[in-house]
Structure formats: structure tokens, C-alpha cells
Amino acid sequence: MNHHYVGIMAGGIGSRFWPASRSHFPKQFLDILGTGKSLLQMTYDRFASFIPKENIFIISSKQYENLILEQLDGLSKKNILSEPMRRNTAPCVAYFAHKIHAADPKASMVIAPSDHLILEEKVFENEITKALNYVDQNDDLITLGIKPTRPATGYGYIQYLKNQEASNGVFNVKTFTEKPPLELAKTFIESGDFLWNAGIFVWNVKSIVNAFSEHLNEVHELFAKGESIYNTEGETEFIEKTYSLCPNISIDYAIMEKAANVRVIPASFGWSDLGTWKSLYKNSNRDYMDNAVNGNKVMTYDTSNCLINVPKDKLVIVMNMDGYCVVDREDVLLICKTDDEQRIKEVTADVRQKYGDDFI
Amino acid sequence: MNHHYVGIMAGGIGSRFWPASRSHFPKQFLDILGTGKSLLQMTYDRFASFIPKENIFIISSKQYENLILEQLDGLSKKNILSEPMRRNTAPCVAYFAHKIHAADPKASMVIAPSDHLILEEKVFENEITKALNYVDQNDDLITLGIKPTRPATGYGYIQYLKNQEASNGVFNVKTFTEKPPLELAKTFIESGDFLWNAGIFVWNVKSIVNAFSEHLNEVHELFAKGESIYNTEGETEFIEKTYSLCPNISIDYAIMEKAANVRVIPASFGWSDLGTWKSLYKNSNRDYMDNAVNGNKVMTYDTSNCLINVPKDKLVIVMNMDGYCVVDREDVLLICKTDDEQRIKEVTADVRQKYGDDFI
């Protein structure tokens, strides 16, 4: 029996990727890089290369169940954990942990987002394997920390203690800092003590269940009640009820920032959260004018540094543009500066106010 | 019997208005100003307010016959002259003149484009009526000359002789100049002797038939042969044959620039040929940021001096743009500077080369 499990979180709506990412078809289901695979498919395949498929689970909203089954060939329906409502990541992790705990108390597990880019898959596999082997033996909560390449203000930072190595490559953590202002981010980078929080966690199931018990007992107790119900017919009904009682809270805030046994593995494997159009632009293949084009019939004239993401067969002419995003879908067209990426949330809020949820 | 006739030319493809104007649905059939009427409908209604409908004819390509019947309520099919192929304006005028001549040799007629904008319709009616009354009595070829408001380089210019007034408001013509360079256009404007050639002609049917006989006899003879066939069942077949023998030549070049009896009526009635996106922009209602928006769900942020012409129900977000055209259709999206208007022909040539006629 293999005691290594993966929980891929695929319930987000990728709101900064609007209008490509839509609430009925969010970012993780999109072939956003034009590779022929969605981000979810890439994430799944990345794990399936070294973890048995029966041990890989997708945790997502009920509404995406069919999308997941369509995209992940050979995935069994019982490997999907359907959340009846959005409650951020803490209930999601608690659900997965308790369910696995009920079936295999010796389990160790990875929790990973479904919508990130990882270029160096072999390095990734090595780091994850190192972390799993470590938590098989140690009751610590491991997070993977990405060695930062620039003072990004959109990420969380982890300060680690370079001289406190718990094991080979596993370090003690000093602080977590969410989305720092630019000046602070620059200081972080200069110090060399900070890593990006990629939201990839590794732990054994007992440690995470204990952590919930200690730091978010309210949620722990809710899910602990299901011990005999998980993996039976009653699970769906139990989860419906349980989720409706859960607070909306992130695993970072609820557990990682509070637990004393958090460790970090600094790593570099060509990671991007592909959180915004600009980050997609930076991670895309670009032509000689530095345009990142996704679309088969795009013609550019005197145009540079643009991201053009349009339907495959639509003829798109872009002339005399520099540094713009052009994102076209059947019912929505967005044209903005790539640097305006942070204003997408303002736009979608305005759209929701004016037209309701139809375009979101 | 009313001897005043109108021939509205509606066979063009409005290529500089691409991609709104398409070969299967050209500019004259579009409600390009968002008024609820197409340019053809506005042109037809403008004449129908003072000329009997049975005397108003549409000359166009066979392929647009159904479109014309759909758009012009109450138009009789016999009032459509279908051209079997495109041969520019001279054969078009010759066909109309000979057909009317066969039915009513005492006719006077107006020839007018279908796709221009005329704001002051009452002034227009007065000028046309003046011209018709003049040609009822005089064997001259009248063209309406628009008093220019700027040194436009895209129009033809008519130099007229201010001190040679043939009749009240009817002047002798000195020269025609097609699309002058900017410096020359400026000189024209400064001199005060030049008018824009709007392509609106008025003459009695004998004068124009004679003019063809004198200046383009080859075409005259072709159409003269049909004298007994016009307005009978044989007309279509005769025209098929005749058009295939016609040269491709404009009425301006063939007749107006050569005939000695050309006169001009200087006029001002809020005219624009709406030849390009820029001219549409200038003639459109604009918001407080000087954006001309056609579309019900357009949201602009930090955007000015733009023309946004998109499907009614498409949500369009434009952020941080200045002086651009955004034209969106189901299968084509065009984004360019309004000042790039003259490059549309380059673009459509490239599109045709790459993808054939599908997008044209």
C-alpha cells in the first residue's frame, strides 16, 4: 500500500484572469498557455508521474465535477471531493485530511493548487519526494518556498532561518508576510532570507489533523464527527451540512502562520502562480516583437510587448499597440495595458454591479 | 407624370470600413451611425420626401437584391437595377440613363451614392430641386460641389469659376483634381475656388446620353442597343451580355472631367462621405471623453478619442487607450489608431492574401 496522497485544489475562479477565466469555466480548466493541456491537466499529470493515480484527489466545487471528469481521463469519480460552497482553503484541507485519515491513518499528503505553472517537473518531483519522505518520519508541516527572482508585491513571503536546518534542506520558519509593499519586498529580496509562499504543503495526516485541533478546533470538530461517514454513501450529505457551518478562512491564516512546527523547503523549479495577465505574458513564448499571441489568425502591425489571447479562428488585427492585453471571448472583449493587471478586480466589480453575474 | 428620377448607386463594398463593411453586407446596408437606419435607408428616405417612390431606383449588384428589398419597405423589385458584375460608375450611369430614356425621354435625374451622410436634409432638397429645375431647361451636366471645411486629401476637388454664373447658383467648372497631396489641398482651400466633388449628379436624360455618345461612345453604343429591350422581360439577359463587354471606368473620369457642359452648384448641407473610420468618428456623437461608442455594453476607463464599434450585447472593456478604433465583429476584431485609417486597404489586402475572401 502506498501511503502518499495528493490533494489538488481546483475550486478557485481565477478572477484576475477575467475574461478568459469565468466562474463557469475558471482558469485551472483553461489551456491558458496554448500547450494543448489545461493547467489542471498539467498539474494532475505532473503528480501522476510519481504518485499512483488512485491516491490523487481533486478538491473542487460541485459545479466543476463534470469539467474535472472530462479533463482528467481515467479519474475515478470517487477521487473528487466536491465542496458544496466556497469556504476558502482551510475547510478544503480539513475535509481532505479527515477523509484520508479515515481510510489510511498512516498517510502523508501533498496539498497543491491546480492553476500554477511549474516548468522543471523533475526538480519538482525531487522536492516533493524529499518532503514526503521527511513527513513520513516527522510530525512537521512543510511548505515549499520558492526562491524569489524579483520583489513581487502580489505574493506571500516566508522568512526562514538559514542556520536552523531541521534536516537536509528542511528549514525552520520565522515569519509569514502577506503581499508586502514594494519597498518591503525589496528589503526581503536583499536580505536573502525570504521565499515566496507557493501554497504547496506537505505533511502526514496526523500532523495536520492535530494542527487543526490545536489552531482551528471549531473546524476540526466539525470534520472529526464524520470519521465513520467518509468514504461511504453518507459523505455527500454530511459534507453539505458541515460546510454550511464552516467559517471562510485560509489554511495560511488558520494554521501555517500559527503552528510552531512549520518548516520550509526552499526550492526553484520554474514556478509561477500565473496569477495575472502580466504573469502569463512573462511565462509565454513571445515573437520577435515580444508579443505573446494565443490565436491562430492574429496579424500584428507595428505592435510590440502585447499579450493577445483570442479565439483560435477569429481574425484579429492589432496595429500600433505597445504593452497591451487584448483578450477576446464570444461575449466579452478586454483591452487594457498589461500594467493595469491589478485593475481587473475593479473592472469585474463594476461589471457585476452593472450587469450582474452574467459576464463573470 | 413626374419627370424627375433618382438613381441611387448601392453597389460598392465600402472597403475602408472593414471589418464592419463586408463584401456580403457592405457599408450602405449598415446602421453605421446607430440611428436605427442604414445609410441606404437614410438616402432613400431623403429622396422619397420629395420625389415619388416609383421614380426612385436602386442600382446595385445582383447579390444585394434581397438586402435592398428587405431594407427598403415598399420598394418595387422593378425599381432595382441589378448589375451582373462590378464595372465602376460609368456603366452604372449609362444603364440607368438608357433605361429611363426608353421609358421617359423627357426625364431629368439625380445620380447619388447610397452611403454618404447628409445632415441638413431640407437644404439638400432645395439644392437638388434647384438643380433638377435647371436641367429641365438646360442641357448641362450638374454636379453638386461641397464647400470644403478642411484640406482633406481623400476627396476629389472641383475648381469653379465664381464669376461665370450660368444661372442663379449654377457655375462653370474649370478643373477636376482627384485626391491632391496635403500641400496642394491647402492651396485649394485658401484660394476659395475649390469644392469637394460629392459624386451627386443632376442632368436631363438626353444630356447624359449625348455625353456618353461623345466621350465614351463604346459604352454608349452597347447600352443604346437595348432601347427596345429596357423595361421588358429581356432586360436582364441583355444587361448580362452588355456588362461583360463594358470597361471598368468611373463617371468622373469618363464624362465629368471631359465634357464642356459641366456646371457646379456649390452647396453646404452637412455632408460627409463617411469614407473611413476617422470620418465616422468625426460625425458621431461623442461622450465627455470624446469617445464615439456604438454598442450597449461598453465600459471605458481612462480612455479618450476612441471609436468603439462593437456588437450591441457584447461586454467590451477598454482601458488606457487614446485615439484608437476598436471594431469587433463575430469573426473579426480590428484595433488600430484612428489615424491609421488609410492602412485598412493594406490590411485587407494582407488578409485576402493569407486567408482568401472569407473575412472580406
On whether both B335 and B220 belong to a single domain, the answer is no
pLDDT, tens digit (0-9, with 9 covering 90-100), for A111-150: 999 999 999 999 999 999 999 999 999 999 999 999 998 8
On whether both A177 and A162 belong to a single domain, the answer is yes
Domain membership flag for residue A95: yes
Domain membership flag for residue B28: yes
On whether both B242 and B295 belong to a single domain, the answer is no
Domain membership flag for residue A360: no
On whether both A312 and A176 belong to a single domain, the answer is no
The residue-averaged pLDDT of B163-179 equals: 91
* Closest residue in chain A to residue B311, using alpha carbons only: A331
Alpha-carbon distance of A250 to A265, in angstroms, equals: 21
Q: Which of B317, B318, B347 to mutate to test the interface with A (most CBs of A within 10 A)?
A: B317
- Smallest CA–CA separation between A334 and chain B, in Å? 5
Identify which of B301, B316, B335 has the shortest CB distance to residue A318.
B335
The residue out of A272, A300, A333 marking a domain boundary is A272
On whether both B54 and B41 belong to a single domain, the answer is yes
* Closest residue in chain B to residue A328, using alpha carbons only: B333
Domain membership flag for residue A312: yes
Alpha-carbon distance of A37 to A175, in angstroms, equals: 36
Domain membership flag for residue B331: yes
- Of the candidates A348, A306, A301, A299, the one whose C-alpha atom is nearest the C-alpha of residue A325 is A306
Alpha-carbon distance of A356 to B345, in angstroms, equals: 40
On whether both B255 and B301 belong to a single domain, the answer is no
Alpha-carbon distance of A11 to A13, in angstroms, equals: 7
The residue out of B272, B287, B320 marking a domain boundary is B272
- Smallest CA–CA separation between A97 and chain B, in Å? 42
Judged against a pLDDT cut of 90, whether residue B91 lies above it is answered with yes
Q: What is the number of domains present in chain B?
A: 2
pLDDT, tens digit (0-9, with 9 covering 90-100), for B69-87: 999 988 999 999 999 999 9
Judged against a pLDDT cut of 80, whether residue A266 lies above it is answered with yes
Identify which of B19, B297, B336 has the shortest CB distance to residue A320.
B336
Report residue B192: phi and psi, to 5°.
Answer: 75, 0
Domain membership flag for residue B259: yes
C-alpha cell belonging to residue A280 = 502569463
On whether both B42 and B119 belong to a single domain, the answer is yes
The residue segments making up the domain with residue A14 are 4-272
On whether both B226 and B146 belong to a single domain, the answer is yes
On whether both A302 and A211 belong to a single domain, the answer is no
- Of the candidates B137, B135, B115, B158, the one whose C-alpha atom is nearest the C-alpha of residue B256 is B158
If residue A142 lies in a helix (H) or strand (E), which one and from where to where?
A: strand A141-146
* Closest residue in chain A to residue B334, using alpha carbons only: A317
- Smallest CA–CA separation between B9 and chain A, in Å? 30
Identify which of B317, B321, B335 has the shortest CB distance to residue A347.
B317
- Smallest CA–CA separation between B173 and chain A, in Å? 42
Judged against a pLDDT cut of 80, whether residue B226 lies above it is answered with yes
- Contact present, B303 and B285 (Cβ < 8 Å): no
pLDDT, tens digit (0-9, with 9 covering 90-100), for A193-248: 999 999 999 999 999 999 999 999 999 999 999 999 999 999 999 999 999 999 99
Angle CA(B237)–CA(B243)–CA(B247) in degrees, nearest 5? 165
Angle CA(B352)–CA(B294)–CA(B49) in degrees, nearest 5? 95
Helix (H, G, I), strand (E, B), or coil: what is residue A76? coil
pLDDT, tens digit (0-9, with 9 covering 90-100), for A293-323: 999 999 999 999 999 999 999 999 999 999 9
Judged against a pLDDT cut of 80, whether residue B146 lies above it is answered with yes
- Contact present, B277 and B296 (Cβ < 8 Å): no
Q: Which residues of B touch A16 (CB under 8 A)?
A: none
On whether both A108 and A30 belong to a single domain, the answer is yes
Domain membership flag for residue B104: yes
On whether both A163 and A299 belong to a single domain, the answer is no
CATH number of the domain bearing residue A123? 3.90.550.10
Interface A-B, measured as beta-carbon pairs within 8 A, has a size of: 99
**Assembly ipTM:** 0.84
Alpha-carbon distance of A207 to A215, in angstroms, equals: 12
Based on its alpha-carbon atoms, the radius of gyration of chain B, rounded to whole angstroms, reads 21
C-alpha cell belonging to residue A49 = 508521474
On whether both B282 and B166 belong to a single domain, the answer is no
Angle CA(A202)–CA(A208)–CA(A212) in degrees, nearest 5? 140
The residue out of A243, A272, A301 marking a domain boundary is A272
Domain membership flag for residue B360: no
Helix (H, G, I), strand (E, B), or coil: what is residue A325? strand
